[in-house]
Amino acid sequence: MDILYELRRDLDQQNVSLHDFSAEKGNYMQDLDFSGLHVLVIGDVMLDRYMIGDVTRISPEAPVPVLNLSKIEDRPGGAANVTMNLQALGMDVTLLSVTGDDSTSTKLEELLGHSIGIHFIKAPGRKTSLKTRFMAGTQHLMRVDDENSTYIDAGLEDVVIDKIQTILNHNDVHAIVFQDYNKGILTANLISKIITIANENKIPTFVDPKEKNFLAYKNCTVFKPNKKEIETCSGIYSPNLETYDTWLRSHLSHQLTCLTLGSKGLYLHNGTAGKHFDTKMQEIVDVCGAGDTVLALLVGCFLKNFDMNDLGKILNIAGGQVCKKSGVAIIDFKELNSEYSLS
């Protein structure tokens, strides 16, 4: 019997109306149309820089490869990559972050373009995260991080809250996404305040956490950790995936758990029942950024009331497609729609 996607708890608070699709409805497939949705993304942005070339010899100066540089590529990373994936799926997106007043921040704004509502609070003395990867073809040789990840102070927290209130006053926002990379933007205090504001305005919240402040997202709507993160924070190591959901719910009181399992797919639990969705065998080129893509699609599908079976299927497809590409990648909506329609 199919597991029903019945997220009934706190519906009045979250203002989310969910459909039930039973087995008797046959092979009903939900439409991937996310137009009309407006999502606010809050979190750590970064610039992913790729120094790409080929290696034909070892340096005579040290036992290291010599990279013959052929091209340099810059791509939006972190919360900016989630933003680009949301836009690629047809949603309107507003991005809010704290950056440095530097060329990296300016470059990110250029890459994101004018169709995204960009609100970068530029803090003097702060660096915008820059991650430079040296690549021989698709082979990752080394990464250099240029950033600082100290938490923002109370004054900047107030600026962020004021900016959120302004955005909500001028836009019909359907979801708020927390993209936390532990780079100092999302403090525990700020997280709590934003979730309170979201719940007061009946806006669902979606969380992609990291180990710091893992349990600060109490009363969020959707929580999407990976298995390593939850093992580190809970101290639980179990083949029974429902054990992790039970532990999370005892701390967060959220609605939907989406536990990503790498090559083993993902696990969804809606508070009533859980289900594991395994991936199909395929070539993996690079897992970098796959979680961002899964989060973006999770937002759209949740807001469009996808049942659990369709949700698990489409999230696995999206993650798999991005893993076939090198580096931080953006979902190809036509490719995604094509594979989904044939599944």
List, in sequence order, every residue forming a beta bridge with 176; answer none if it has no partner: 40, 205
Task: Tell me if residue 162 is catalytic.
Answer: no
* Backbone CA torsion sign across 284, 288, 293, 298: positive
Separation between Cα atoms, residue 96 and residue 119, nearest integer Å: 5
Is residue 80 within 8 A of residue 112, CB to CB? The reply is yes
Tens digit of pLDDT at every position of the chain (343 positions): 333 333 333 434 444 433 332 333 334 456 778 999 999 999 999 999 999 999 999 999 999 999 999 999 999 999 999 999 999 999 999 999 999 999 999 999 999 999 999 999 999 999 999 999 999 988 899 999 999 899 999 999 999 999 999 999 999 999 999 999 999 999 999 999 999 999 999 999 999 999 899 999 999 999 999 999 999 999 999 999 999 999 999 999 999 999 998 878 899 999 999 999 987 644 434 344 577 888 999 999 999 999 998 899 888 887 666 555 555 567 666 777 666 665 6
Quickly list H helices, 89-187.
103-112, 154-170
Is residue 164 within 8 A of residue 193, CB to CB? The reply is no
CA distances from 341 to 205, 237, 318 (A): 28, 36, 13
Q: What does the block give as tokens for 77?
A: 């990373």
At 6 the pLDDT is 38
Quick one: how many helices (H) and strands (E) in the chain? Answer: 10, 13
At 323 the pLDDT is 52
Determine which one of 292, 307, 310, 332 is catalytic: 292
At 29 the pLDDT is 54
Separation between Cα atoms, residue 222 and residue 258, nearest integer Å: 7
With residue 233 as reference, give the H or E element that holds it.
helix 227-234
Separation between Cα atoms, residue 292 and residue 296, nearest integer Å: 6
Per-residue DSSP letter, 32? -
At 334 the pLDDT is 73
Is residue 183 within 8 A of residue 167, CB to CB? The reply is no
Q: What does the block give as tokens for 97?
A: 């972050």
List, in sequence order, every residue forming a beta bridge with 96; answer none if it has no partner: 42, 119
At 32 the pLDDT is 79
List, in sequence order, every residue forming a beta bridge with 269; answer none if it has no partner: 257, 274
With b meaning 16 or more CB within 10 Å and e meaning fewer, what string describes 157-180? beebeebbeebbeeeebbbbbbbb
Separation between Cα atoms, residue 24 and residue 27, nearest integer Å: 9
